[in-house]
Amino acid sequence: MRIAVIGVNHNDASVEIREKVAFCETKKIETVNTLLDLGISETIILSTCNRSEIYIVSKDLDKHIEETKNFYKEFFQVEDIENYLFVKKDHEAILHIYNVAAGLDSIVIGEDQILGQVKEALQSAMEVGCSKKILNKLFREAVTAAKQIKSTLGISEIPLSTSYIAIKNLKEELGTLKNKNILVIGAGKISSLALKYFEEEEVGTVYMTNRTMHKIEDICTECKKLHIEAIDFKERYKIIKNVDVVFTATSATHLILKKDMMPEIDHELHIIDLAVPRDVEISIKENKLIKVYDIDDLKKLSDENLKKREILSENASGIIENSIKDFYEWMKGIKFDPVIKSLNERCREIEEDTFDYINRKLELDCREKKIIEKMIKSSLKRLIREPINNLKDLNKEENVEQYIEMMNKLFNF
């Protein structure tokens, strides 16, 4: 079995492209079913504001890579999508998910949110049943390594996230955020982080809206220093006239702020749009009083700590390399799984045949049958226990495939 990742991310594709290939939950299920029908053994979809990636496990990797690339083209119907698709396989694919989980491949290097998104992607795939032994192990090990990197090297001590960078830049532009009125659209993790940063800046009134209002109530209890007013989603355009800043980060697949619905603006308005697909219609920025920042603008803003982060990335490589080495050892070991499974199945056949034979030849009561059945099972287990343990130890040998072939021939599996 081999591993690959195929997708689009911020390294090669702008937000205009990324928002067109973002996976909503419905698209994820449809994609998973299509890929499994193609014969792909396992798959996980990781879709965030920075990336839209499909991880696959396959015996016929090159064939399935091409089929996955074709799927992207046909499913999303994005012109010249092949110019933005990247492919990594085997070691490169394994290294990629480690870097992604640790935040080392993010627009904001070392940001924390991606770790949760990787865990959620794994959990979703496990619930659907499209991720099995190999990808489950890989993603779990990548998450564990990411946690170790953050705790050992102190990456999380520098509070970097897309929300933090955007708000920090806004403060620099305005000089201060004190007493500025804010409209926050969306009640997800990005918006929750933004509120924590706004809390530190002594902002004025924070108007908050979301399609499901109960989420806002939960957030209000966490941000007690802020004066938050929950407003109906339909009232968002009216409130815009009264605020200095709009922060939006929803998971909607359609525009949240449209140009033709915007009120007349008579003051400078700053809009931070961290959603992918974007929440704000591009043409809104044609108004000279309105400044709009999207996720790609953060690339220009996050260079401040880049040198420090590069040093941390170099230091993280040792943790990642050790974890990947252990993963390879595990991968070698599971090559024997089919042989071990066949051995156990053969023992069960012998056990059943032997017990049936004894049962036909002797008149046994219930107690005697249970004793004999237990003895047969125990004897066969003892017989294969040592060979199985020795097989597992052979994963350190280079010629694993030869041992597997030999076992298959010896036992006629």
What are the φ and ψ backbone dihedral angles of 397, each rounded to 5 degrees?
-80, 150
> What amino acid is encoded at 390 in this protein?
N
Handedness of CA 186, 188, 190, 196 (dihedral sign): positive
Catalytic residue check, 24: no
Indicate the DSSP class of residue 267.
S
- C-beta of residue 289 within 8 angstroms of C-beta of residue 265: yes
Strand order in the sheet with 86-89: 42-47, 51-58, 2-9, 86-89
Catalytically annotated residue among 49, 130, 223, 366: 49
- C-beta of residue 283 within 8 angstroms of C-beta of residue 257: no
Rounded to 5°, the CA angle 266-271-276 comes to: 150
E-assigned strand segments in 274-401: 290-294
DSSP 100-168: HHTTTTSSSTT-SHHHHHHHHHHHHHHHHT---HHHHHHHHHHHHHHHHHHHHH-GGGS---HHHHHHH
Q: What is the set of active-site residues?
A: 49
